[in-house]
Amino acid sequence: MNLNELHSFTWSDAAYLAPEWILIALAIVLALVDLALPKRSDRSVIGWLTLAGLLASLGVVIWRLLDMNAGAGGQPIRLLADSYRIDDFSSMLKIVFLSATALIVLMSLGTVKREDIPEKGEFYYLLLPAVVGAMVMASSGDLVTLFVGLELLSITTYVLVGVRKYAVESAEAAFKYVVTGGISSALVLFGMSYLYGLTGATNLGDIATGVQQHAGDFKALLYVAFFMLIAGFGIKIAAAPFHVWAPDVYQGAPTPVTAFLAVVSKGAAFAILFRILYNAATGASADNAPIGSDIFLTLLIVAAAAMIIGSTAALRQRNLKRMLALSGVANAGYLLVPLGMSFKGLHAANFGEFIFYLTAYVLMNVGVFAVYAAVERTSGHSDLKGLAGLYYRAPWTAAAMVVFVLSLAGLPVTGGFFGKLFILLGAAQSRLYWIVAVMAGTSVITYYFYFGLVRQMFMRSTTDEGDVHIPVTTGVVIWLCALLTVALGVVPSPLLDWVNAHFSVINDLFVTRS
């Protein structure tokens, strides 16, 4: 990037960033509103305004995506010398991030109490810069903008995890998350510095060219660079063996924040892994050192480890949040498989399979956390026994929970089933039969603890837990997620076909210098 390219940024270019501007401006306004409101007043108005801002930003992203594919042939919009890209890859991920955050905010409006989060206004408007960080990561075509987005997301989530400032568990979780997040950022920055040192560029397109030219001269350094990046982002996505922070942080954080970490933070890290590795590692090869193939094989090994460790470690958990954290570790492995397949066997539907399963993963996780938040509010604890007799205390909520559990387990008539099936068939098409075996075996293992949740719900409670009150907003989230999960399980092809029809690896994922 040179100075002349920076000076070419115009007001019309700035208009392309409307989704991000909306959220940044709203966060500033809401912070001022929060200061102006009386200390004891209800902060739910800030939550509703946050939800409105997220929906407005989502509307602009959808309109831009449809407009690009209708009028401009799907060509990406390149800003600041390709350091920021608006393409189908980033737009589809932004839709997932904004939709997930909107559902989390709506869920929290009915379940978050003052005794849980003393400063509710801060909780709501800190979600806005966090999701902006995720959006910047999805659109980054340069290491500098990538790291800015990563740190914006990381710093705000550090604060959100510790927002229950009078709770010891929350303070401990925040401390652990800050430490592991700092290690993750250091590893990512270390790997980036090697790529910059070897290629003399921060733009991903220039890095790809430089890696291809110098792969034979600096094989060992390239391995170090890519392995550092995998380790750093492995912490962010909570993939084994980089997952040890997740159970403690998920348990200590407020439930809406835990849901945000489980879906949005994880999805943003996957977006960057796609962007960096497919640009820089795909063409990396040297004499007797197929660097690119080794990097993608490493991803598949990490995926297998995540599936095995996550599913087996969850078997002994009796705390629902910790179980969901370890379930997330296993799901991180499933989501890594499309990335690790690369173009092996000319398989090119990787992103379609990934975005389908990510969508199903968002719906079933947000739905489970919404049910959990309502149950926790009634029972006052987060143990599995809080679900005991849920069918008799809230039958419709129990029915929705069954849908989410079936989807997490990957059983038919749910989005989770087809999400896993598409990934499994893609791996089989690429002749990666060993990863197919790992996916199938670990899925069977997960049935034990997932159906343990169902068994709890349909057993009569042995304690006086009382009826579960489901706030209207939380009920809307639960049933919207349940209906969409079933819809993806009944008619999965429209979403997958639409993504595969519009997404182009060359135009939307690879950063090519014009």
Q: Is residue 118 scored above 70 in pLDDT?
A: no
Which residues are within 8 A (CB) of 202 and not within 5 positions of it... i.e. 6 or more apart? 1, 83, 142, 143, 144, 196
CA distance 360 to 415: 5
How far apart (Å, rounded) are the C-alpha atoms in residues 322 and 335? Answer: 20
Query: What are 79's strand-pairing partners?
Result: 84
Distance CA 157, CA 181 (A): 10
- What does R_g of the chain's alpha carbons equal in angstroms? 22
d(CA 272, CA 288): 28
Neighbour tally for 380: CB within 10 Å = 9
pLDDT digits (tens, 9 = 90+) for 217-275: 788 898 999 999 999 999 999 998 999 999 999 998 888 999 999 999 999 999 999 99
For residue 410, give the DSSP letter: T
Burial of residue 87 (number of CB atoms within 10 Å: 0-12, 13-18, 19+):
buried
* Distance between CA atoms of residues 238 and 495, nearest Å: 27
pLDDT tens track for 475-508: 999 999 999 999 999 999 888 888 888 888 888 8
Q: What is the pLDDT of residues 366-378, one digit of tens each?
A: 999 999 888 877 7
Q: Cα 59 from chain centroid?
A: 20
pLDDT score for 119? 62
In this predicted structure, the answer to whether residue 303 has a pLDDT above a threshold of 80 is: yes
Distance, CA of 435 to CA of 453 (rounded, Å): 27
The residue among 285 and 122 whose pLDDT is bigger is 122
Q: Where are the domains of the chain?
A: 16-509
Q: Give the integer Cα–Cα distance in Å for 439 and 462.
A: 37
At residue 329, does pLDDT exceed 90?
yes
Bridge partner residues of 84 (DSSP): 79, 140
For residues 202 and 142, the answer to whether their CB atoms sit within 8 Å is: yes
More confident residue, 118 or 69: 69
Contact residues for 296 (Cβ-Cβ < 8 A; gap 6+): 277, 281, 339, 340, 341, 342, 344
Q: Are 489 and 420 in contact (CB under 8 A)?
A: no
Contacts of 510 (CB under 8 A, 6+ apart): 205, 208, 278, 279
Give pLDDT, residue 392. Answer: 82
Answer yes or no: are the C-beta atoms of 409 and 327 closer than 8 Å: no
Q: What's the chain's average pLDDT?
A: 87
Q: What is the DSSP string of 249-301?
A: HHHHS-HHHHHHIIIIIHHHHHHHHHHHHHHHTTT--BTTB-HHHHHHHHHHH
pLDDT band at 465 (very low <50, low <70, confident <90, very high): low
Assigned token pair, 394: 């809230």
C-alpha count within 13 angstroms, C-beta hemisphere, residue 327: 28
Q: Is 49 helix (H, G, I), strand (E, B) or coil?
A: helix
Please give the angle made by the CA atoms of 319, 322 and 324, to the nearest 5 degrees: 105
pLDDT at 387: 81
Q: How many CB atoms lie within 10 A of CB 6?
A: 11
Task: Tell me the three-class secondary structure of 342-362, residue by residue.
Answer: CCHHHCCCHHHHHHHHHHHHH
Are 505 and 431 a contacting pair, CB within 8 Å? no
pTM: 0.93
pLDDT reading at 514 higher than 60: no
Q: What is the rounded distance in angstroms from the CA atom of residue 136 to the CA atom of residue 272?
A: 10
Confidence of residue 168 (pLDDT cuts 50, 70, 90): confident
Alpha-carbon separation of residue 279 from 60, 143, 146, 210, 506 (angstroms): 28, 12, 14, 11, 10
CA pair distance 173, 185, nearest whole angstrom: 18
Average pLDDT on 277-289 reads 75
Residues 463-475: what's their mean pLDDT? 77
Please list, residue by residue across 323-346, b when 16 or more beta carbons sit within 10 angstroms of its beta carbon and e when fewer do.
bbbbbbbbbbbbbbbbbbbbebee
